[in-house]
Amino acid sequence: MTPSQKAIDIIKKCEGLELTAYKCSAGKWTIGFGSTMYDTGEKVKEGDVITKERAEELLMWELKRKSLMIRARVNQNQFDALCSLCYNIGIGALLDSALYKKVRINSNDPGIRNEFMRWKFAGGKVSQGLLNRRKDEADLYFNPNL
């Protein structure tokens, strides 16, 4: 399964686009649509500047790389929501999460919505932006309209 435009849209909406490197709320150098690393393996650093086209390339590279690790029996909306979450928190965090364990046991478990909402901290503080993003992801996850 590959991420659809729905996953890309949530990521772009929630990450925003910054063509000059900045420190995100978690204190990491970030660029484009929330990328902290380039497709060369080099980390984003202060002073980096990219084009919108390069930001799109990085988004697609990172999303493809992370989505390949999601191995669960889910529908497209569920997959897209998991891809958006994974893009934000990282593949290791997703695979180790209670959320992903619940998905693997029963992808329709209503408790999964609460697990999305637990991922609301940036730099040790609750982030309204992350709460909004998690609501969007959970709503997509539980949307039966494909």
Active-site residue identified among 15, 62, 115, 137: 15
24 is annotated as an active-site residue = yes
The terminus-to-terminus CA distance of the chain in angstroms comes to 14
Q: Write out the two tokens for 47.
A: 């002073």
CA distances from 34 to 21, 76, 108, 143 (A): 10, 23, 29, 25
In whole angstroms, what is the distance from residue 1 CA to residue 76 CA? 8
Residues 6+ apart with CB under 8 A from 68: none
Tokens of 65: 């790389």
Among residues 14, 18, 24, 115, which one is catalytic? Answer: 24
115 is catalytic: no
Q: Which amino acids are annotated catalytic? A: 15, 24
